[in-house]
A and B are shown apart, each in its own frame.
Chain A
Amino acid sequence: MPTSVLPETGPEVPEKSRMRSIVLWTTVALLGAVAWGVLALARGEEISAIWLVVAALGSYAIAYRFYSRFIARRVLKPDDRRATPAERLDDGVDFQPTDRRVLLGHHFAAIAGAGPLVGPVLAAQMGYLPGTLWIVAGVIFAGAVQDMVVLFLSMRRDGKSLGQMARDEIGRAGGGAALIAVFTIMIILLGVLALVVVNALAHSPWGTFSVAMTVPIALFMGFWMHRIRPGRVVETSLIGVALLLLAIAGGGWVQNSSLADTFTLSPTTLVFCLIGYGFVASVLPVWMLLAPRDYLSTFMKIGTIALLAVGVVVAAPVMRADAVSEFATSGAGPVFAGSLFPFLFITIACGALSGFHALVASGTTPKLIQKESQVRMIGYGAMLMESFVAIMALIAAATLEPGLYYAMNAPAGLLGTTAESASHAVAGLGFTITPDQLTQAAKAVEEQTLIARSGGAPTLAVGMSEIFSGIFGGTAMKAFWYHFAIMFEALFILTTVDAGTRVGRFMLQDMLGNVWKPIGRVNWKPGIWLCSGLVVAAWGYFLYTGATDPLGGINQLFPLFGIANQLLAAIALTVCTTILVKSGRLRWAWVTGAPLVWVVAVTFTAGWQKVFSDDPKVGFFAQRARYADALDAGQVLPPAKTLDDMHTVVTNSTVDGVLITLFLLLVTVVIVNAAVVCVRAVRSRSPLPTTETPYVESRIDMPEQADEPLAGARL
């Protein structure tokens, strides 16, 4: 049985604690305000990243203490005397009351991944200030609110999924559109994330070797945990982490040995390796590959993020990027095209507002909550933590020399392949880096080149290696820390790809099962293979086009990913707002309604520009027309080099444009359908029937626990 009782802090003397609390929160507010003041007033001088950390943490503390409490008290009104589904339906498997600290860890591990690490790095092209403002304000008023409200609503409905809630609350059309949107959006997400891995590992024998080693390590762990020492997860994970560190160190040796060529792979080869891996991981039993990888990834995730937080505070690096760069207004940035509004807000999705969280918050987590009031800590709190991860990623990118940042993140077509051409191109953007500096930077982390290593992961890795090597190991360890960071991101992403492919396979089986029964059976092998193959082929297609796109895959696909993710948030917020209105809380509907209006404005403006803009850098169809016209005239437009490249551009921009149109249409259907339902609800004289599961009194007393043992509770 779980051991040792931790003393819970008892109720304090009211008056004294009130005074203390006022003093404490005034101090927090002042600290935060001073930090924001420093950020706002510092111009033309380099400031320490500590100010960013203090500003963010101060804002989070105040938002958690006041805004999330307001939402809980006035809007959601959780009731701790009401039994949660975990208590009522406790089956020891899917449903079981879980200690809130443990559940916070579970929920955080499920929502945090590579997203908050990649987006802010790309958005650093507009300067660190706009990104910071959006990450902090976005999470407080939109992202964390969405997670908390969805979690609460799903908990009141026995852990129903977002799609089911959309169908129940909005209607068949809205529900169906939401379901298709969720599936397609997931495919794009997997494709883009996998592309980040490909860009990080291409032509890097060290990185490729250490990431490839994660497969045998996971297989070994799976075998150990399943066959030799069943269920000993902690010891197995510790062995796994130790092996992983060895694999990273071993990569350095492989790089300098005769094996180097074997692990030097082109992007296209890596694409096929990943596609094959995704398929195998999806059809193998979970204990072999997926489960152990998941443990490994969770351990690395929590460990490295904690390490990064310590690193940023101890090293206190100086921000070298501009607070607001000229690309914020001109919209001509090389990393992604388009102006600050709306494109900054779709580039930084995870960390500020991520629709994908709604899928996690409506599913596993609500089935494990022990007391209703804990949605505040788990929903709102976990999202604040993810937001802090995004702030740290932004810091890591903004502490790099801008010249190096652009040499790494601009598309290959612009930079060319040599240090000279890249240096020249960066000068053309208005920044300086000498060819020698560029070569040195690559040498310091023992990479063949850092030119055009877009996708965010390598940039973050260079930033992290600067921060870490400043504290542990000095310059000699730089290469190790760089590859450590690459491995850590690749591990996250591959875990997301494994799990996502599997989830996608089940969704597809479910959908196709309506058409032809046998496919829906979860243990019919041909059905599993077919659906896995289809899902892998779908994201594999985007991965392949991304890796071979002459215009730069990240440049083309990342906006698509951002728009998709934020549209999912729009669907989630629509469902939340509809439920608030239907349950007679019209007065408070702005809590989710305001972020909904904002995210709709952002995504629809971005989508509109991506479809209709005349600027071929922004609009997919304008781009298509430009290249198709040139093709008709028999010309080759740079950065395309051959007629085949030209054809590729035409096809890709058509597919991307059509997809964005499809997404916008699906979300429009959901929103219009929801609006009709809301109007009907407001006009109706009698309140609409509730969809909540009926009240059952809780038998769990807090803080003392009743006789029923809680999963993870200290007894």
Chain B
Amino acid sequence: MTRRDLLAAIGAGWLVDASVPSARQFTGRIVGANHRVGHLLRDGASLVPDGEPERADIVVVGSGVSGASAAWRLGGAGIEVLMLELEAFPGGTSAWSEDGVVPHPWGAHYLPAPNPSARATLRLLEELGAVTGYANDGAPTFREELLCHAPDERLFFRGEWHPSLVPLAALDAGERAEFERFQQVRARLRDLVGRDGKPAFTIPLVGSSRDPELLALDRMTMAAWLEREGFRSPFLRWYVEYATLDDFGSTLDDVSAWAGLHYFAARKLETEQLRGSHYLVWPEGNGRLVRHLLDKMHGRREARALVLAIEPRPGDVIVHALDLSGDRPRRRTIRARGVVLAVPGFVARRLLPPALAARVVRRTASPWLVANLHVKRPLEPNRAWDSVLYRGAGLGYVDSGHQRTEPREDTIFTYFRAFGDADVEGTRARLVSERWASLAADVLLDLAPAHPDLAETTSRLDVMVWGHAMPRPRPGFLTEDGVAPFEPTPLLDARVAWAHVDRTGYALFEEANAHGVRAAEALAENLSAEIGASWL
């Protein structure tokens, strides 16, 4: 099967139908992230002031995990917020959809069992009933049906599926030995403590050691570190790169070794319950968490609201925005007591006056493609949640129906692909201009080695292109000039706090959640609002 064949099958389904009885046509479209509207901002929209401004207490810009977390934290203290979201749907890169046989994610889709140090996230999980208690040593216990049901992962390796991502039995002795050595290094790093007494790597990042010897790892690439440590087998390099693509959208050559090692060493929980999968999984992915955060906020939420500028003044902040929800854009201004900016650096810099913009870090963002395939396939009693193809172009797919306990033939496969090379601009431009048929063909082609019949069992294939899915922790992301490592204050101004994960350049749920909570708490304190003890 070639890409051309697939394109033909999608584009000219009726023609192919007539000649090849098995090729059935499926439908689909490009959904979500509205690049054109976003680019209104880049191309400059006018800021003509008009009539009397609306009033709001706190404006939260952005409804991704950090924005929703800030609103959740403020809601916990009874503080009202007005949340403005550019897209028609909430969640940022934890967006989700509910049309189809099972809810499904459009982005972040799991949460590894959080460390006890991720206190805000554990509080959230308690509220959700996902954490049921704590052992004497502080380790949380989880509601078991929310942990990923076995089997959680499988790898399509040399023509067949193997349980787990590491097909130990199929590796040759050298590869196996190297993998085992890597596991030893990993275990050592997980328990490693810096000279300042802090763990070398932990989550949220702010708790990690600032030992210069450890931070020095941030000045080399993960590829260089693997080379230095003598990890050279193709399997291990694939395995590590799979991780850096999965969490950072980056190949080994464009990611900081500190970040790469953090991925493997930051998760500390080891309990009897977590002998199996330690992933918390919902059909709609982390959208389930965002939904809860938004449910708990006080105030209101507006979709399709493009913020144009934030203008701090003595005594208040003016938010200039375009309401895009009607037929024609409508200008509006909002006078608020404070603003939580929960948008990435490249957006925040355009909204802020130059003096504040200068304090916002601009990160390289990785483009992603997510596809949801509505499929009806014969029951596979041992199908894993996460199916990965060794050396596939993408990261494989998760079965969004996996946590249902009843056997069902129809489900939704959520496919992910990170574009990890250094030319993010070129890739982004290409992706945004691609047509649906072409993107859909690429998805099917990538999965074809394991599922040559996928097109025939798919009724719908929707695609979402994320131009800026997540910050990429490139070498120097923690330590380069102008970026203080683990900068403690999110306040850019007395009334403006920045909550986005671009602050540390590291997109994990707990990180975004902590950033949102920290921004909310710092702002409330500055505004002398009663907010109680910190949730962090």
- Co-assembled chains A and B: no
A contacts, CB < 8 Å to B: none
- B residues sitting closer than 8 Å to A (CB atoms) are none
